[in-house]
Chains A and B, each alone.
Chain A
Amino acid sequence: MKDLVRNALLNNKQPAATLGDSMTTILNVSDVTKTYEGGHQALKGVDLEIEEGEILALLGPNGAGKTTLISIICGIATASSGTITVGGFDHVRDYRAARNLIGLVPQEINLEPFETVMNSVRFSRGLFGKPRDDARIEEILKLLSLHDKKDSRIMTLSGGMKRRVLIAKALCHDPKILFLDEPTAGVDVELRKDMWDIVAKLKQTGVTVILTTHYIEEAEAMADRIGVISKGEILLVEDKDALIKRLGQKELLIELDNPIEALPEALASHPLTVSDDGGLIYTYDAQAGSTGITGLLADLREAGLHMSDLSTRQSSLEDIFVDLVKEDAA
């Protein structure tokens, strides 16, 4: 089954990465590689197209190359080869124009501890060449529920508040693309939900969001499209719903009046397993023409098994992701 999943994914890689004609590409990453001095190849020819206004979640295990890719796009690291254009501007040759369009929220909470929130955000706005505009900054702070902390020193804020400051700093020059590198790493559930709300608000304002995460739940909750990266390679980029639908294996859970311990021989031809509570689990492909359920039910009756309840369960993105990355690592 894992092979099936993997093949289905990889065979569909091409159309998934290409956007339709009606959409505007705001970021184009073409064949970008990165080899560090020690010889470690962090990126092996990454191609990626981001459509204006979308939210893309880049999923990948630790060390997959997510942060390296973002760092290269934002100018913090240099690519070994390949080209990147942001809003049509080459990110090296026209770095000013390209970087003006980008806001970056780094993974680590890197902030000047002794500065006030307002000063820190003012500094970021200035770096991006924008004239001082406290009214605009206050608007952003309000969006992030940070306004009442504007004169607080950063060192006095909680971890969640500091993360919001990082977002305010990234947004204060009104970028078109916002990179969120692991925005909810190490934050509590409540704050994570807040972060999702913030991203939803940003989407309404037309900002393109690219976030990296290894929380599948996060990608499922926020993203329009999902990219999976592992060992420096993008394994797929695809519409989230289509991905889950296409790859979703469904399970039919069958509870029995009289629990069984082993699978009767008469049912051996079906992809069945016995559940912990003595019921049966039937795995099938929801997209296939024939699910085989009708035949199964007939065989169950013939085998003398009486059902007490039926339910179905769809595999989550997490299952898909784990399969994909595990296969890649194999």
Chain B
Amino acid sequence: MNWNAIAAIYRFEMARTFRTLMQSIVSPVLSTSLYFVVFGAAIGSRIDQVEGVSYGAFIVPGLIMLTVLTQSTTNASFGIYFPKFIGTVYELLSAPISFFEIVIGYVGAAATKAFMIGLIILATAHFFVDLTIAHPVWMMAFLVLTCISFALLGFIIGIWAQNFEQLQLVPLLVITPLVFLGGSFYSISMLPPVWQTITLFNPVVYLISGFRWAFFGMADVSLGWSVLAIAVFMTTCLATIGWIFRTGYRLRS
């Protein structure tokens, strides 16, 4: 293993995060705080408890997921797309590093950043709602695995994208709707039966459900399904990345 190379990529990417602190961290925290103010405090105060949890607290796991999914995807996609765009990718391709090491560096940095933002939002949430975490270890595990899985997805998008529009397309048109419709702001038991069934095809439902279970001990789907969903998603992403590197898809001519 070329550990120095992994560390170099990781440090380089993390340096970018800290260089663009406003955009990287302050902006997601601000937008999430606005969600708390609007949904949690203003509207949430008029909504009943959801399965014994106040609405303000209920949306916390969903809101963290919303930001973490978007952040890990966009961080990782930008991280690998930018060198392609400005041409510095030649360095990665001509260095004595394996593709696996490249992935660890980029995905690791993107996941770290998303994880940090997730924790910051969690801390911010404490200012707005009373929150207790029933299963802190599971909560952290879900958060870490989600960050990594979606950073892997982001990495794939970054390799696939040939312009900035395509880079934005997947997070904008796929991830945001899936998260909004995946029970961030409601329990899927609130939906009509038909929609409940349809919703089960949304993979994000399993993530949010599992994450919410770690907070409140209640879930839309069982914990096993949630764990399985993350495992399947991660395996699919890893297999896709493996294929990209074997074929050099959109990297090597």
Contacts and interface: CB of A to CB of B under 8 A. Distances in A.
B90 A106 contact: yes
A127 B93 contact: no
A186 to B, nearest CB: 15
Given A76-B94, A78-B252, A99-B96, A127 B8 contact: yes
A99 B11 CA distance: 22
Interface in B7-36: 7-9, 11-12, 15-16, 19
Contacts of B3: 129
Contacts of A78: 248, 252-253
Given A77-B252, A78-B252, A106 B87 contact: yes
A114 B4 contact: no
Interface string A126-168: 1111110000000000000000000000000000000000000
Interface in A265-310: none
Contacts, number: 83
A interface bracket (residues with beta carbon within 8 Å of B): 35 or more
A36 B12 contact: no
Given A77-B253, A78-B252, A114-B19, A127 B97 contact: yes
A126 B93 contact: no
Interface string B108-147: 0000000000000000000000000000000000000000
A157 B137 CA distance: 49
Contacts of A123: 8-9, 11-12, 91
A96 B97 CA distance: 7
Given A74-B94, A76-B93, A99-B94, A129 B2 contact: yes
A36 B252 CA distance: 11
A127 B90 contact: no
A75 interface: yes
Contacts of B2: 96, 129
Nearest to A73: B94
B223 interface: no
In this complex, the member of B5, B86, B93, B96 whose beta carbon has the largest number of chain A beta carbons within 10 angstroms is B96
Nearest to B12: A123
B8 A119 contact: no
A103 to B, nearest CB: 9
B20 to A, nearest CB: 9
A123 B19 CA distance: 16
Q: Which 7 A-B pairs have the closest CB atoms?
A: A126-B8, A110-B87, A127-B95, A96-B96, A99-B96, A74-B94, A129-B2
Interface of A: 36, 71, 74-78, 95-100, 102, 104, 106, 108, 110-115, 119, 122-131, 169
23 contacts: A74-B94, A75-B94, A76-B252, A76-B253, A78-B252, A96-B2, A99-B94, A100-B96, A108-B87, A111-B86, A114-B19, A115-B12, A126-B7, A127-B5, A127-B8, A127-B91, A127-B97, A128-B4, A129-B2, A129-B3, A129-B5, A129-B97, A130-B4
